[in-house]
């Protein structure tokens, strides 16, 4: 059967496409321009991969893109650390972009819809991750829409709020249209090899950028905002396995492998890639997060129902580093 993946040229989107193709689906990926479509077709080089051009998440018409599609994975959403206009940069494309594709899918009679959210939407306590608790599907990010729109919060928090309100819009829509089987995926920070087209390491996706900034010679250790991780291939598998899993209907599927602090990541790189030593920041004496509380997450649907365990931190970090070094040579 044929599925539509939005944001197919993104870091995670491209891995979802690959995983779905490998699982036997015909995949149509949306991108914003004809040029991006051509770049992506070259990467997958498969007659099972098609593209559709959706220039604007909020206003574009999906009629053509949804033709002969049986399920939709909506993964396109702005993800960056900076913000100038909270509504325009994050809230509107996330929320109205989700509603636009949901309405079009429903009008086209499509019943199976997956939306990529983030684990950030379950951080219900203001301490975020620095609190001894286990977050689960009943938790919701404490930040309100008005706070996010006010222009006073850091970009990362506005991003998380955009995902929260996009998710809530999707759940409301599914409640109004009970024939829709909605599943939401809530992965933690995702690292891993880059397979999507990028023209420069400056345009690297936001999460891998943290690892790149450790190895690019700037000798700066990025802050630990949400120090839990998962690898991109497993995260894509969670999406594709959920497609056929009735047990995930109406569920939020949280996915993480566990803690991954900047200190732990740097330690792994120092140990396994000594040739990079002169580019790396020195390892601090201790992990600033050691001995502090670090929240846990209920990942039972991803691990027990879908059977995706995730790669460990070392394998995830080193495959990311190797991929970024390859890109450095190529670009
Ligand atoms: P990328 O930035 O690599 O990909 C984002 C995708 O969304 C791209 O295809 C991009 O298209 C598209 N997109 C972004 N903004 C817009 C917009 N305003 N209009 C149209 N398309 C847009 O990010 P990721 O792969 O990391 O993120 C993919 C999804 O996964 C997002 O929903 C994100 O919230 C979620 N996620 C990511 C995590 C991570 O650590 N990476 C963790 C948890 C969730 P274009 O290339 O044209 O800009």
User: Crossing angle for the helix pair 206-215 and 262-272, nearest 10 degrees?
Assistant: 50
Number of domains in the chain: 1
Query: Could you identify the atom of ligand 1 that is nearest to the CA of residue 159?
Result: 34
pLDDT tens column, 146-168:
999 999 999 999 999 999 999 99
The residue-averaged pLDDT of 50-66 equals 98
**120 in Cβ contact with 131 (< 8 Å):** no
Number of other CB atoms surrounding residue 228 within 10 Å: 20
For residue 257, give the CATH number of its domain: 3.40.50.720
**How are beta strands 258-259 and 296-297 bridged, if at all?**
unpaired
Whether residue 225 has pLDDT greater than 90? no
pLDDT tens column, 37-53:
999 999 999 999 999 99
**55 in Cβ contact with 29 (< 8 Å):** no
| DSSP states of 58-73 | TT---TTTTTT--EEE
Q: Which two tokens stand for residue 85?
A: 């206009």
What is the chain's mean pLDDT, rounded?
98
Residues with CB under 6 Å of ligand 1 are: 7, 9-13, 32, 57, 75-79, 93, 116, 118, 163, 187, 189-190, 205, 207
Mutation probe of ligand 1 site: the residue of 7, 56, 212 with most atoms within 8 A of C-beta: 7
**How are beta strands 296-297 and 134-135 bridged, if at all?**
parallel
pTM for this entry: 0.99
Alpha carbon of 290 to ligand 1 centroid (Å):
31
The residue-averaged pLDDT of 77-100 equals 97
- Which residue CA neighbors atom 36 of ligand 1 most closely? 118
- Which residue CA neighbors atom 11 of ligand 1 most closely? 7
- pLDDT value for 327: 98
Alpha carbon of 12 to ligand 1 centroid (Å):
7
- pLDDT value for 110: 98
What residue numbers bound the domain in which 184 lies? 2-330
- Which residue CA neighbors atom 21 of ligand 1 most closely? 76
- pLDDT value for 296: 98
pLDDT tens column, 267-291:
999 999 999 999 999 999 999 999 9
ipTM above 0.90, yes or no: yes
């Amino acid at each position: 059967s044929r599925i539509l993946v939005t944001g197919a040229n993104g870091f995670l989107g491209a891995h979802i496409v690959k995983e779905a193709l490998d699982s036997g689906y015909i995949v149509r990926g949306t991108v914003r321009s004809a040029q991006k479509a051509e770049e992506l077709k070259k990467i997958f080089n498969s007659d099972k991969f098609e593209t559709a051009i959706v220039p604007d998440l909020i206003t574009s018409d999906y009629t053509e893109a949804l033709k002969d599609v049986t399920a939709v994975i909506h993964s396109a959403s702005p993800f960056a650390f900076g913000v100038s206009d909270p509504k325009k940069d994050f809230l509107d494309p996330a929320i109205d972009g989700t509603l636009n594709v949901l309405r079009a899918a429903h009008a086209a009679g499509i019943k199976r819809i997956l939306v990529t959210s983030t684990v950030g939407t379950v951080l219900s306590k203001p301490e975020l991750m620095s609190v001894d608790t286990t977050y689960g599907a009943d938790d919701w990010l404490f930040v309100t829409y008005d706070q996010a729109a006010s222009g006073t919060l850091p970009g990362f928090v506005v991003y998380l709020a955009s995902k929260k309100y996009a998710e809530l819009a999707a759940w409301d829509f599914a409640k109004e249209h009970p024939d829709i089987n909605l599943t939401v995926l809530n992965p933690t920070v995702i690292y891993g090899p880059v397979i999507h087209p990028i023209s420069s390491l400056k345009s690297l996706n936001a999460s891998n950028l943290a690892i790149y900034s450790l190895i690019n010679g700037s000798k700066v250790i990025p802050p630990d905002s949400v120090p839990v991780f998962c690898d991109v291939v497993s995260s894509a598998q969670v999406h594709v396995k959920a497609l056929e899993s009735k047990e995930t209907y109406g569920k939020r599927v949280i996915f993480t492998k566990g803690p991954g602090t900047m200190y732990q990541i740097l330690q792994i790189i120092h140990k396994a890639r000594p040739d990079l030593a002169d580019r790396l920041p020195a390892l601090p004496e201790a992990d600033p997060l050691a001995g502090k509380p670090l929240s846990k997450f209920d990942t039972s649907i991803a691990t027990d129902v879908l059977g995706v365990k995730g790669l460990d931190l070392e394998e995830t970090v080193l495959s990311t580093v190797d991929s970024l070094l390859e890109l450095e040579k190529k670009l």
